């Protein structure tokens, strides 16, 4: 596998395997480019719990100081919390050192502008050009700024924004019995406090020690959450929540031990919001058509964007969306809190809906439109992607075609989406249909074509 495939410069920043690909030198240079671009002033810096985090944090700090930025270190915090802090403190920008759902050998720099948002298409292009030109500002000695620590105020700022949008007392009165798996990630401490102290839940938690390694695969999806399922069943919890290492993605286990499909998690959130705040919805191309059905029931329009939080947020701002996200990864974006994926907003919103209706999480999920989905991934040879897409399009001549992000084929019975990953050197494959039989037929045709 080539080095270029192991280091990704994409919609959220840079990401790669620590050691031969993402090195301290590279992190320092990218931080210099970032600091030169946003200009002298305060830049917020936080991270998740990966072993390489402290090393990369030192490298990024050096790069920012070298160009005349003041570095505000907020410590180990969820990415959405860092984004809220950047916006509220009017910093020049922010960097979260986290590879999110990727395996522990990866790390990354997620880059935010002064609004606490991922850079848009134009900002990203200018920053990457600056990085490649290596034309960084060199601050003289009398302009070298300091490193400031603020590890206390960011969580309170974030949680205060979330709690404005739910009936806190209604949730507290229920004293929900909740199970939690934070994968020993950035949300470990904050999530326990949020559920126990802010929402007054009875909590049983696993993997909430930020000093320990990830005990499971980082991405929270049904096949990786056996321990959470077991905890829910042993403790008779009413709901279980799981996060990824940087706390922006949310997975849910119902009271029967069933892990909800990530698309259903987003669908529940969209339904919650549209009931009280009708308006446009934006989701990525891989998100379930269940969102379209829910939005139609509320008389609302759905818009699609390429995969990637930055792409979804850019489209949300353009159409003034009231809710959005990426169902394929459990990412809920509610602009009234912040334009970012936010597991804390998701937890609060779902608990509030349970309290409002008196229904269990399994009952709420059962009321959603029913679709059947399959996700997969496969390696691909560099230079072959274009040919593979042409072969796939030819195999489905009657499909409606969307080429805005890889290839999406819409058919009467469902859809197929194939694209190169934004974060790993793999091909991501998704399919959805209204019946298991239709899904199996789509998958068979897809597999035969990509073989």
| Final residue before a domain boundary, out of 298, 331, 366 | 366
238: Cβ–Cβ under 8 A, 6 or more apart, which residues? 176, 177, 178, 255, 354, 360, 361
Nearest to 362 by CA among 221, 231, 224, 264: 264
Question: 194 and 66, same structural domain?
Answer: no
Question: 142 and 19, same structural domain?
Answer: yes
Question: 188 and 328, same structural domain?
Answer: yes
Domain CATH for 430: 3.30.310.50
Question: 144 and 74, same structural domain?
Answer: yes
| Final residue before a domain boundary, out of 116, 151, 186 | 151
Q: Write out the residue range of the structural domain in which residue 432 sits.
A: 372-450
Question: 184 and 331, same structural domain?
Answer: yes
Question: 225 and 173, same structural domain?
Answer: yes
Question: 310 and 228, same structural domain?
Answer: yes
Active site residues: 100
- How far is the C-alpha of 44 from the C-alpha of 59, rounded, in Å? 14
333: part of which helix (H) or strand (E)? strand 331-334
Question: 280 and 140, same structural domain?
Answer: no
- Supply the pLDDT for residue 426: 80
- How far is the C-alpha of 307 from the C-alpha of 155, rounded, in Å? 28
CA distances, 298 to each of 196, 279, 280, 293, 415 (Å): 34, 9, 10, 9, 23
- The alpha carbon dihedral of 299, 167, 269, 110 has a sign of positive
Question: Exposure pattern of 193-228 as b/e (b: 16+ CB <10 Å)?
Answer: ebbeebbbbebbbbbbebeeebebebbbbeebbebb
Per DSSP, the three-state class of 441 is helix
pTM, two decimals, is: 0.92
- How far is the C-alpha of 265 from the C-alpha of 240, rounded, in Å? 12
| Total tally of structural domains belonging to the chain | 3
| Helices 53-66, 24-38: inter-axial angle, 10-degree rounding | 40
Domain CATH for 310: 3.40.120.10
Question: 16 and 69, same structural domain?
Answer: yes
- Supply the pLDDT for residue 4: 43
- How far is the C-alpha of 441 from the C-alpha of 451, rounded, in Å? 15
Query: Are 178 and 200 spatial neighbours (Cβ–Cβ below 8 Å)?
Result: no
Question: 254 and 237, same structural domain?
Answer: yes
| Final residue before a domain boundary, out of 95, 121, 151 | 151
Mean pLDDT by 10 residues, the chain (451 residues): 58 84 94 96 98 98 98 98 98 97 93 94 89 93 96 96 98 98 97 98 98 95 94 98 96 97 96 97 96 98 93 95 91 96 97 98 97 86 76 90 93 92 78 95 87 70
Per DSSP, the three-state class of 135 is coil
Question: 423 and 310, same structural domain?
Answer: no
Query: Are 167 and 352 spatial neighbours (Cβ–Cβ below 8 Å)?
Result: yes
- How far is the C-alpha of 319 from the C-alpha of 249, rounded, in Å? 23
CA distances, 311 to each of 85, 300, 410, 441 (Å): 21, 21, 21, 31
Nearest to 270 by CA among 355, 368, 415: 368
- Supply the pLDDT for residue 6: 65
Question: 203 and 352, same structural domain?
Answer: yes
- How far is the C-alpha of 26 from the C-alpha of 56, rounded, in Å? 10
Concatenate the DSSP letters of all residues of 356-406 into one string: HH---HHHHHHTSPP-EEEEEEE---TT-HHHHHHHHHHH-TTSEEE-SSS
Query: Are 231 and 181 spatial neighbours (Cβ–Cβ below 8 Å)?
Result: yes
- How far is the C-alpha of 252 from the C-alpha of 168, rounded, in Å? 20
């Amino acid at each position: 596998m080539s080095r270029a495939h192991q280091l990704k410069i994409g919609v959220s920043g840079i990401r790669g395997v620590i050691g031969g690909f993402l090195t301290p030198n590279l992190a320092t240079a990218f931080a210099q480019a970032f600091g030169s671009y946003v200009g002298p002033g305060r830049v917020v810096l936080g991270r998740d719990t990966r072993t390489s985090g402290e090393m990369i944090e030192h490298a990024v700090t050096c790069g920012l100081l070298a160009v005349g930025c003041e570095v505000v270190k907020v410590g180990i915090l969820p990415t959405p919390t860092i984004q809220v802090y950047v916006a509220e403190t009017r910093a020049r920008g922010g960097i979260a050192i986290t590879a999110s759902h990727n395996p522990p050998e990866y790390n990354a720099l997620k880059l935010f502008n002064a609004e606490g948002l991922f850079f848009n298409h134009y900002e990203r292009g200018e920053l990457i050009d600056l990085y490649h030109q290596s034309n960084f500002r060199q601050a003289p000695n009398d302009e070298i700024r300091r490193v400031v620590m603020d590890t206390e105020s960011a969580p309170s700022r974030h949680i205060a924004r979330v709690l404005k949008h739910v009936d806190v007392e209604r949730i507290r009165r229920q004293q929900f019995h909740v199970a939690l798996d934070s994968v020993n990630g950035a949300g470990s401490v904050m999530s326990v406090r949020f559920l126990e102290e802010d929402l007054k839940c009875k909590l049983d938690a696993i993997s909430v020690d930020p000093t320990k390694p990830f005990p499971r695969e980082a991405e929270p999806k049904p096949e990786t959450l056996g321990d959470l399922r077991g905890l829910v069943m042993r403790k008779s919890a009413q709901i279980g929540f799981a996060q990824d290492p940087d706390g922006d993605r949310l997975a849910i286990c119902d009271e029967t031990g069933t892990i909800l499909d990530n698309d259903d998690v987003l669908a529940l959130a969209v339904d919650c919001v549209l009931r009280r705040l009708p308006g446009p919805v934006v989701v990525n191309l891989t998100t379930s058509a269940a969102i379209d059905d829910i939005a139609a029931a509320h008389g609302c329009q759905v818009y699609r964007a390429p995969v990637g939080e930055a792409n979804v947020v850019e489209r949300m701002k353009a159409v003034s969306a009231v809710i959005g996200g990426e169902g394929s990864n459990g990412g809920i974006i509610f602009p009234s809190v912040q334009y970012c994926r936010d597991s804390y907003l998701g937890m609060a919103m779902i608990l509030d809906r349970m309290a409002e209706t008196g229904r269990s999480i399994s009952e709420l999920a059962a009321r959603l439109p029913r679709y059947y989905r399959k996700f997969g991934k496969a390696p691909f040879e560099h230079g072959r992607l274009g040919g593979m897409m042409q072969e796939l399009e030819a195999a489905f001549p009657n499909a409606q075609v969307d080429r805005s992000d890889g290839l999406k084929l819409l058919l009467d019975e469902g859809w197929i989406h194939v694209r190169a990953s934004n974060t790993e050197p793999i091909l991501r494959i998704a399919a959805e249909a209204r019946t298991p039989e239709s899904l199996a037929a789509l998958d068979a045709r897809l597999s035969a074509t990509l073989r």
